[in-house]
Amino acid sequence: MPKYFLLAKFSQRFIIPNPSARSIFSKMRKLKNSITKIVYQKVKNVSKTLFSSSSISKEKVDCLVIGAGIVGITVAKELSVRHGIDVLVVDSASVFGTGTSSRNSKVIHAGIYYPPGSLKASFCVRGKELLYKYCKDREIPHKQIGKLIVATGLSEVPKLSALMNRGIQNGVEGLRMMEGYEATTLEPELHCVKALWSPSSGIVDSHSLMLSLVGEAESQGTTFSYNTAVIGGRIEGNQIQIHVSGSDALANWNGRTELDSELILIPKLVVNSAGLSAPAIAKRIKGLPDSIIPASKYARGCYFTLSNTKSPFKHLIYPIPEVGGLGVHVTLDLNGQVKFGPDVEWIKGIDDIPSFLNMFDYSVCEDRANQFYPAIRKYYPGLKDGSLEPGYAGIRPKLSGPEEGPTDFVVQGEEVHGISGLVNLFGIESPGLTSSMAIAEHVAAKLLK
């Protein structure tokens, strides 16, 4: 994409220009406002028909990344910084990282849980290495505090042993099985019969991480366009056309008429890293085979914070994994605040538009604490009544439901769908944060082979 200030005016919202080096304060202010006073070109003669391209303004771009979550941002940084590609990132939100990327445990995973040979296993182990180095080199707040996965009864010990064997097969270093009394020397408030110690697990300030990645990408010419929703597209010959609209117009859509396309982007390369809405966006690209697009499954998870007591733990504490998640676990932020979660609540009936605009219910009902207390007391019997307060919630972009087995990340390139220059990323749930830099390496290799 040419390095000029453009692209479109969407209901008084403008695409963010390529900035020169700025202070973090300036970047935060710019991103918060999501508006610039400098516009090179305005979109005129906006059509009211989605795929009638004759009267809709078109813009050619080198690379389009859909979604400004941690993975989309990291892909943009990889392509622009390491490969010199001009990248345009679009997101329907008003700022980066508002979806799953900011509504998770903020844990750097070791790579224990995932089947050997899976993308989750390889990306997590490689991504952990890259992430720790990136954070250390740029002084991004993080801490390698270690994790204990605990068996609270004898029936869980075989599952714990299986996790250790799996982690070793995945190349995770430093794993060690502990007896219960050893674990309690590390964490006196902990109850367990055995524990698996993972020294390479840690925590990270995910917002500072994303802000750093955005800054690096922008410094190499990447443009971020917020309040900009992808509503569909089409494949014409060897050309990909992506239709976009302002988020406000999409939010006000009546559900009956055609969606309004305000601009057509014609990119050489496209990365669909839209997270929760990635499958829905793919389904709206005409010419992309429906058979290769997985069905979306959504699993909501709530977190509760521990109040009115000193932090009882110094390390991450995880139970044996459950269907749909890793169990209600203990995580800490960099200030030592303890959080418990997430649980698993399967949700249905999500239409395209709510997913495009991240219009999910993120409220946390106080009554859900009644389910948290017994789950937590299995490994933390000293938890006092009334000490849990509602925290936040997130949605996992899953590809399998409650009665189905776990699935791997899906990274779809031309070898699957037959379309040159397009990569779809589906089901990028945990360990997506840890894996983000490894995913970016992999996506770049697919696009530039």
Task: Summarize pLDDT for 48-97 with one digit per residue, the tens.
Answer: 233 344 578 999 999 999 999 999 999 999 999 999 999 999 999 999 99
* Helix, strand or coil, per DSSP, at residue 392: strand
Residue 397 has pLDDT above 60, yes or no: yes
- Per-residue model confidence (pLDDT) at position 354: 65
> What average pLDDT does the chain have?
87
Residue with more model confidence, 160 or 353: 160
* Helix, strand or coil, per DSSP, at residue 446: helix
Residue 28 has pLDDT above 70, yes or no: no
Please name the amino acid found at residue 152. T
Residue 396 has pLDDT above 50, yes or no: yes
Taking the C-alpha atoms of residue 292 and residue 279, their distance in angstroms, rounded to an integer, is 10
Taking the C-alpha atoms of residue 125 and residue 69, their distance in angstroms, rounded to an integer, is 20
Residue 256 has pLDDT above 70, yes or no: no
* Helix, strand or coil, per DSSP, at residue 440: helix
Ramachandran sector of residue 357 (left: φ over 0; alpha: ψ -120 to 50; beta: rest) = alpha
* Helix, strand or coil, per DSSP, at residue 21: coil
Q: Which runs of consecutive H residues, i.e. helices, occur in 174-277?
A: 180-186, 206-219, 247-251
Q: Which residues pair with 177 in a beta bridge?
A: 196
Residue 20 has pLDDT above 60, yes or no: no
Which contiguous run of DSSP H or E holds residue 261? none
| Torsion over CA: 348, 306, 187, 335 (sign) | positive
Taking the C-alpha atoms of residue 34 and residue 50, their distance in angstroms, rounded to an integer, is 25
Residues near 76 by beta carbon (within 8 Å), at least 6 away in sequence: 65, 87, 89, 213, 217, 222
- Per-residue model confidence (pLDDT) at position 243: 95
Q: How far apart are the first and last CA of the chain?
A: 20
Pairing of strands 87-90, 58-66: parallel
| Averaged pLDDT, 136-148 | 98
Residue with more model confidence, 27 or 85: 85
Confidence of residue 405 (pLDDT cuts 50, 70, 90): confident
Confidence of residue 9 (pLDDT cuts 50, 70, 90): very low
**Residues of the chain above pLDDT 70, percent:** 86
- Per-residue model confidence (pLDDT) at position 12: 34
Task: Summarize pLDDT for 261-272 with one digit per residue, the tens.
Answer: 889 999 999 999
Task: Summarize pLDDT for 430-440 with one digit per residue, the tens.
Answer: 999 999 999 99
Taking the C-alpha atoms of residue 230 and residue 50, their distance in angstroms, rounded to an integer, is 12
Name the pTM for this structure.
0.88
Residue with more model confidence, 47 or 143: 143
Residue 13 has pLDDT above 50, yes or no: no
φ, ψ of residue 8 to 5 degrees: the values are: -145, 155
Taking the C-alpha atoms of residue 115 and residue 401, their distance in angstroms, rounded to an integer, is 18
- Per-residue model confidence (pLDDT) at position 24: 29
Taking the C-alpha atoms of residue 349 and residue 351, their distance in angstroms, rounded to an integer, is 6
Confidence of residue 357 (pLDDT cuts 50, 70, 90): confident
Residue with more model confidence, 252 or 297: 297
Task: Summarize pLDDT for 359-380 with one digit per residue, the tens.
Answer: 888 999 999 999 999 999 999 9
| Averaged pLDDT, 156-185 | 97
- Per-residue model confidence (pLDDT) at position 406: 87
For residue 359, the tally of other CB atoms under 10 A from its CB is 13
Residues near 407 by beta carbon (within 8 Å), at least 6 away in sequence: 398, 399, 400, 427
Residues near 103 by beta carbon (within 8 Å), at least 6 away in sequence: 362, 392, 393, 394, 395
For residue 239, the tally of other CB atoms under 10 A from its CB is 14
For residue 404, the tally of other CB atoms under 10 A from its CB is 12
| Radius of gyration (C-alpha) of the chain in whole angstroms | 22
